[in-house]
Amino acid sequence: MTARYALPTALAVARAGDGTLFVMPLPDGPPRALNGSAEVIWEVAVSGSGQIVKEVAEAFEVAPDAIAADVEVALRSFSRLGLIEPLMGEDAS
Amino acid sequence: MTADAAPLLPRDVAVRLAHAAVQAIADEAGITVLHIKGPVVDATLRAARLSEPVEEGSSVPRPRISVDADVLVSPEQARALLEAMKRHGWQLAWDFDEGSLFAHAATLTHPHLAHVDVHRWFPGIERDPRSAFALLASEARRIPIAEFPCLVPSDDAHRLILLLHAARSLDAGGRADVADLWTAASPDEQAAVRVVAERLDATVALAAAIDEMESVRHRRSYRLWSALRRPGHTHRETLMGHLAAARLREIPTLLTRFLLLNKRRMDREHGSRVSVVESLAGYRTWVAQRLRSRR
C-alpha cells in the first residue's frame, strides 16, 4: 500500500496531437511535458490508486521491487511541482 | 522518466492551457470571463460532429485551428482582468485602443502560452456592452478546457458571436464558418440565433454574415457592415462606415483613434517611431488622395 494522490483542482491537462501529455499548475505554470514512464506513474497516481508501485510495475511488466524507489522519487517530484495532490489523511512523505 | 518544463508547446496545447490559465486568474480575482472561439467551438457546437464515426470515403473533420485564446469580459471588469493577468506573468502587447477602430480587444502575451485576446465587447453587438455581457453571462455554463472548468456562452449565443466575427472576415475563413454554423444549421438553430441577435441588437452584423443586408438597409450601421463584409475593403471604407454608424458625440474619439492607429501603422512600416512632422505629412497625403478620389 503506497500513499494515495488525486488530481489537483488547479491543474490544466492537455494532450497534443502526437499524444504527448502536458500538465500545468494554474494559474502560473510552468507547463510540463510528461514523457515516458512519468506519464504512466502520473496517470496511476491521479487515479487515486493505493497500489501505485504495483500498478506501474504491471504496466511495464517488471517486478515492483525493481522500480519502487524510482516511482517514489517521481511521486515526490510530482507532488513538489503541484502535479499531484496527496489525499487527505494520507502520508505523502 | 521526466516531467520536463516545456517552453515550446504545440500550438493547440498552448491555446487550451491559455484558456485555463485565464479562467483560473479570473476566478481568483472574482472576475467573470466567457471563453469563445477556438477550442470552445470544438467542445460545444462541433462536438457531435467530431465524435461521429467517419464514413468510408468521407473526410475526417479536423479540430479548429487557433493561434490565440479569445475571452470576453464585461467592460467594467476589463481593466481589472488585464491587471490580474499582468500579476501572473502576462504582458500587454496591444491595449484596447491600439488594435482596431472598434477598440474592442487587448492582446496579452505569455512566455509559454498562446497569446490571449481580451474582448471588452464584441463588434456587431450594438446593445450597450455592459448589459450585453450580463445577458450572455446569465446563460453561460462551465465546460472543461484543458480539463479545467471554463465559462462559455450558450450555444445559440456562441453561434451568433462566431457569425458576427465571420461577417468581418469573409475572405479569411469566415465564409467556411457561415457554411458550417449557419447554412448547415437546422431551422430551429437558425431561429434561436435570430432571437439572440434581436436581444443583443446584433441584427445588422448577422445580416452581413448571412447575406441579408437588404433587410437592414435602414440601419445606421448598414454602411459599416457593408464595407466590412466586402473582401479587400480599405481602411478608408472602414473609417467611413464607422463614421456613418457613430453618434455625433462619438466622432471626435473615433477620428482620434483612427489617427493614432494610422501613426502606429506608419511606425511599423518605417520600423521606427515616426516623427510628428512625418506623421502629419502622411495624413496630408492621405487627405489629398481622398479628395482627388472624390473628383
Whether residues A26 and B5 touch (CB distance < 8 A) is answered with no
- Residue B243's SS3 state is helix
Q: Between A1 and B291, where is the model more confident?
A: A1
Query: What was the pLDDT predicted at B280?
Result: 60
B:192-211 residues touching chain A, CB 8 A cutoff:
none
Name residue, grid cell 471626435. Answer: B252
Whether residues B4 and A17 touch (CB distance < 8 A) is answered with no
Whether residues B112 and A29 touch (CB distance < 8 A) is answered with yes
Note whether B264 and B247 are within 8 A (CB).
no
Give the H or E element holding residue A87: none
> What DSSP string describes B12-49?
HHHHHHHHHHHHHHHHHHT--EEEESTHHHHHTTTHHH
Residue B21 in contact with partner chain A when CB distance is under 8 A: yes
pLDDT, mean of residues B179-207: 97
User: Which residues of chain A have a CB within 8 Å of the CB of B21?
Assistant: 12, 24, 26-29
Whether residues B24 and A35 touch (CB distance < 8 A) is answered with no
Cα A51–chain centre separation: 12
- Percentage of chain B surpassing pLDDT 70? 87
Query: What was the pLDDT predicted at B294?
Result: 41
Amino acid identity of B115? Answer: H
What's the ipTM? 0.92
Query: What was the pLDDT predicted at B52?
Result: 75
SS3 content of chain A, % helix, strand, coil (to 5): 40, 20, 40
Whether residues B6 and A81 touch (CB distance < 8 A) is answered with no
Residue B147 in contact with partner chain A when CB distance is under 8 A: yes
Q: Please provide the average confidence, as pLDDT, over all residues in chain B.
A: 88
pLDDT, mean of residues B259-287: 64
A12 → closest Cβ in B1, B2, B148 = B148
pLDDT, mean of residues B230-247: 88
Joined together, the cell numbers standing for residue B212 give 441579408
Give pLDDT tens digits for A22-39.
Answer: 999 999 999 999 988 999
Burial A65-74 (b: 16+ CB within 10 A, else e): eebbeebbeb
- Rounded to the nearest angstrom, the minimum Cα separation between B156 and chain A is 27
Is 0.95 surpassed by the pTM of this model?
no
In angstroms, rounded to a whole number, what is the distance separating the alpha carbons of residues B203 and B211? 12
In angstroms, rounded to a whole number, what is the distance separating the alpha carbons of residues B284 and B292? 12
Q: Which residue, among A35, A31, A73, A36, has the nearest Cα to A52 in the 3D structure? A: A73
A:70-89 residues touching chain B, CB 8 A cutoff:
70, 74, 77-78, 81, 83
The ranges assigned to domains in chain A are: 5-84
Residue A45 in contact with partner chain B when CB distance is under 8 A: no
Query: What was the pLDDT predicted at A12?
Result: 98
Whether residues B148 and A26 touch (CB distance < 8 A) is answered with yes
Cα A65–chain centre separation: 18
Give the H or E element holding residue B223: helix B222-228
Q: Is the model's pLDDT at B199 over the cut of 80?
A: yes
Burial of B22 (0-12, 13-18, 19+ CB in 10 A): buried
Residue B271 confidence class, pLDDT cut points 50, 70, 90: low
Give the H or E element holding residue A17: none
Whether residues B4 and A18 touch (CB distance < 8 A) is answered with no
Q: What is the CATH number of domain B9-51+60-153?
A: 3.30.460.40
The ranges assigned to domains in chain B are: 9-51+60-153, 249-295
Query: How many CB atoms within 10 Å of residue B230?
Result: 13
pLDDT, mean of residues A3-17: 95
Number of H helices and E strands in chain B, helices first, is: 13, 8
Q: Is the model's pLDDT at B209 over the cut of 60?
A: yes
Residue A29 in contact with partner chain B when CB distance is under 8 A: yes
Which region among B78-87, B149-158, B165-174 has the lowest average model confidence (pLDDT)?
B165-174
Joined together, the cell numbers standing for residue B159 give 453561434
Amino acid identity of B240? Answer: M
Whether residues B20 and A16 touch (CB distance < 8 A) is answered with no
Which region among A72-81, B38-47, B112-121, B280-289 has the lowest average model confidence (pLDDT)?
B280-289
Name residue, grid cell 505554470. Answer: A29
Residue of B nearest to A70 (CA): B1
B195 backbone dihedrals φ, ψ, rounded to 5° = -65, -45
Residue B1 in contact with partner chain A when CB distance is under 8 A: yes
Asked whether the CA dihedral B283, B222, B158, B234 is positive or negative, the reply is negative
Whether residues A16 and B12 touch (CB distance < 8 A) is answered with yes
In angstroms, rounded to a whole number, what is the distance separating the alpha carbons of residues A13 and A32? 10
Joined together, the cell numbers standing for residue B269 give 512600416
Residue B5 in contact with partner chain A when CB distance is under 8 A: yes
pLDDT, mean of residues B16-24: 98
Joined together, the cell numbers standing for residue B254 give 473615433
Residue of B nearest to A71 (CA): B1
Q: Is the model's pLDDT at B18 over the cut of 80?
A: yes
Joined together, the cell numbers standing for residue B244 give 456613418
Substitution target from A18, A23, A26, A62 for chain B, most B beta carbons within 10 A: A26
